[in-house]
Copies of this chain bind each other. A is one copy, B any other.
Amino acid sequence: MSPSAGRRVVDLFAVVPAGGAGTRLWPLSRSAAPKFLLDLAGTGRSLLQQTVDRLTPLVGPDGVLVVTGQAHGMAVRAQLPDLPAANLLLEPSPRDSTAAIGLAAAVLVRRSPDAVIGSFPADHVISDVDAFGAAVEQAAAAARAGYVATLGVRPKYPATAYGYIENGERLEIADAPSALSVTRFVEKPDRPTAAAYLSSGAFWWNAGMFVSRADVLLGHLARHQPLLFDGLSAIADAWDCGDRDSAMSSHWPALARIAIDYAIAEPVAAEGGFAVIPADIGWDDVGDVVALAGILGGPGDVQILGDRSRVLAVDSTGLVAQSGDRTVTLLGVRDVAVLDTGDAVLVTTMADAQRVKDLVAAWRDRGRPDLL
């Protein structure tokens, strides 16, 4: 497919898929209180609230849609009291990101046929909001030119925990001077491959943000996942002016569980339909305790989430998450992560960050679903 060009300027809508258990941040992140609902940056705002806070100036107060599981509906409403009721889309069961974003696109295109939509994960942090806004503006311009645009985060180190985007030639799109074509999306590489990506200068971290005309995105979906497209279309037809519940129960359970990276990004990039906007926006996915320590960035050798006055660290380095009235004291421990919640305390090391998710399964096996 070659990108279509020169449509009229339309409003940007932001879709925020709020899902994912964040099990590498257990016991902070739980099935009932997942990562996106948590104030992991210690700012007083949850990651979801911060996401909406930085999108609202770009799309207006009615321009943000949140897609989340029914189990989290009340918590999301409580955290986002200004979100219009029509802009909260509740999933009866998890069907992965293509269904979540596709549903939002299908509903939006019926409300606003020329809508440009951007999809932005609810559980990441972005420290440079101005740079983020400028990048999204360019991505929207590329989207209006017919591309699916993504933000490519400049790699700071040879990360093995992120997927990468390889860029091709400059695209010469009006109002998107940074836009480059996307050659391919690649999954999490091993360390030598990541180092080669870093030194090549042509690879970018995939932050999972996509901007596209809604009709363009749905066109890709219709070609690459026609059954998914049909199911979402049936639901969207009923969403605002039909029997939404009946359509949902008829079609939602049968939708394919597939990530948008596989359903859309990889095949459309191969067709030349993807653009990347390189962006230095201070992005972090806060995926594990190492990342959490990184975003806190406070003084001293121990990063603290919570009440600093309740944490005492002597000859120690690492991370402490404090909660409630409880105090945490460290003595002589190095590169440690201590996460203290009401019912659980985890003591581990930065080197074990990736293995924390296994503990959730271990507690499940012990018959403690309340801890998951």
Contact = CB atoms under 8 A, between A and B. Distances in A.
Given A326-B345, A344-B326, A363 B333 contact: no
Given A312-B366, A332-B352, A368-B327, A347 B358 contact: no
A342 to B, nearest CB: 8
A309 to B, nearest CB: 7
A338 interface: yes
B346 A329 contact: yes
A38 interface: no
A370 to B, nearest CB: 10
A332 B348 contact: yes
Contact of A340 (B325, B331, B345, B351): B345
B332 A351 contact: yes
Interface string A314-338: 1100000000011111111100101
Interface string A179-190: 000000000000
Contacts of A340: 345
Contacts of A352: 315, 331-332
A345 B327 contact: yes
Interface of chain A, main secondary structure: mixed
A293 B134 CA distance: 58
B343 A27 contact: no
B347 A327 contact: no
Chain A interface residue count: which class? 35 or more
B331 A363 contact: no
Contacts of A362: 312, 314
A87 to B, nearest CB: 38
Contacts of A178: none
A58 to B, nearest CB: 40
B312 A328 contact: no
A196 interface: no
A371 interface: yes
A355 interface: yes
A347 B359 contact: no
Given A312-B363, A333-B336, A362-B314, A328 B347 contact: yes
B355 A331 contact: yes
A225 interface: no
B325 A343 contact: yes
Contacts of A255: none
A366 B348 CA distance: 27
A362 B344 CA distance: 25
Contacts of A366: 309, 312
Contacts of A336: 333, 347
Contacts of A31: none
Nearest to A356: B331
Contacts of A332: 348-349, 351-352, 355
Contacts of A359: 312, 314, 329, 331
Interface string A19-51: 000000001000000000000000000000000
A326 B309 CA distance: 22
A117 to B, nearest CB: 40
Given A326-B342, A328-B344, A331-B356, 19 more contacts: A309-B366, A312-B359, A312-B362, A312-B363, A314-B355, A314-B362, A325-B343, A327-B343, A327-B344, A327-B345, A327-B371, A329-B348, A330-B348, A331-B347, A331-B348, A331-B359, A332-B349, A336-B347, A338-B347
8 contacts: A312-B359, A314-B355, A326-B343, A326-B344, A327-B345, A328-B347, A331-B346, A332-B352
